Amino acid sequence: MSTGPQPLRKLVVVGVGLIGGSFALALKEAGRAGRVVGVGRGRANLDAAKRLGVIDVLRTLDGPWTAELADADLVLVAAPVAQYPALFAAMAPHLGARTVVTDAGSTKQDVIAAARAQLGMALPRFVPGHPIAGTEHSGATAAFPTLFRDRNVVLTPLSETDRDAVATVASLWQVCGANVRELDAAAHDRIFAAVSHLPHLLAFALVDALATRPDAEDLFRFAASGFRDFTRIAASSPEMWRDISMANRTALLAEVDAFRAQLDRVAAMIAAGDGTALEAVFANARLARRAWEAERNAAANPAPADGPRES
């Protein structure tokens, strides 16, 4: 039976938002993080993080924060992905020889390109990662230690990535309660373009379009619970989703094209009055959606082992 990873004597979290803050809280709660240094742009957010016990020490990006890196066991970069090249460039000369670096960016090919360009000798100790968790809330005040429980965390190591570094990062995410999986970075970016980035784009686009209309007030007055769920992700961070959309633009635009073709197909069925074809699309969607939900629920709540049951 594994006893889990060595506790981190020092963890540096760059970007103490929902993800970075929740990672720190989960490791602290499990007794696996000693001193946690939070690094960020906004002083108010870092102050809140410290007050809430998410971090022990705060450093702003406009100060000498890189002095914290030499003796860090782990650095988690959990900032919007557009900031990565500058962050990696600033970090590279200061990382300790044993410091492992990982990240929480929602796109991976662009992150890897930035790491290759900037991390130099530290590249083998960089483990690209993506925790598949989040809410529409952001900032350190939104963080909570159980955010990653039963969630997937995808790691996309390079051929030159140190396997000990991968194992360390994987075991820390497991301490947070996550299921760790490995994917090729290109496959990762294709998959998330389809199941995450496109839905966010559609939700943002719909709400923006409705809000801009002259009859917006009437529209929102009668919008109900179906609309609420469909558009929940349109309340997500504009900056984060701008960066994701730009970073993964090739895969995302391919998904937009595919979706547009599907929308044309379905609209043609409606225009032609072909209710049979339309119902077949809807029925196929319902079947797939229900099967997915059932599998997801079964994974979250495994059935009890066989045994006597009350009738």
| Interface with a second copy, residue 1, by CB under 8 A | no
Binding mask 11-40 for a second copy (x = CB under 8 A): ------------------------------
Binding range to a second copy, per CB under 8 A, among 64-72, 116-124, 159-167, 286-294: 286-294
Considering only residues 53, 296, 298, 300, which one is a binding residue for a second copy as defined by CB under 8 A? 296
Residues between 77 and 116 that touch a second copy (CB under 8 A): 82
Considering only residues 44, 51, 164, 284, which one is a binding residue for a second copy as defined by CB under 8 A? 284
| Interface with a second copy, residue 137, by CB under 8 A | no
CA dist., res. 42 & res. 61, Å (int): 9
CA dist., res. 19 & res. 21, Å (int): 5
Residues between 181 and 210 that touch a second copy (CB under 8 A): 187, 190-192, 194-196, 198-210
Q: How many residues bind a second copy (CB under 8 A)?
A: 90
CA dist., res. 82 & res. 123, Å (int): 19
Q: Which tokens go with 98?
A: 């044993």
CB 13 within 8 A of CB 162: no
Binding range to a second copy, per CB under 8 A, among 30-38, 118-126, 165-173, 236-244: 236-244
CB 130 within 8 A of CB 106: yes
Considering only residues 140, 290, 309, 310, which one is a binding residue for a second copy as defined by CB under 8 A? 290
In angstroms, the first-to-last Cα distance of the chain is 37
CB 48 within 8 A of CB 140: yes
In the complex with a second copy, which residue's Cβ is closer, 116 or 151? 151
CA dist., res. 207 & res. 203, Å (int): 6
| Interface with a second copy, residue 259, by CB under 8 A | yes
| Interface with a second copy, residue 149, by CB under 8 A | no
CA dist., res. 85 & res. 88, Å (int): 5
Binding range to a second copy, per CB under 8 A, among 41-49, 60-68, 97-105, 212-220: 212-220
| Interface with a second copy, residue 47, by CB under 8 A | no
Query: How is 271-292 classified by DSSP, letter by letter?
Result: HTT-HHHHHHHHHHHHHHHHHH
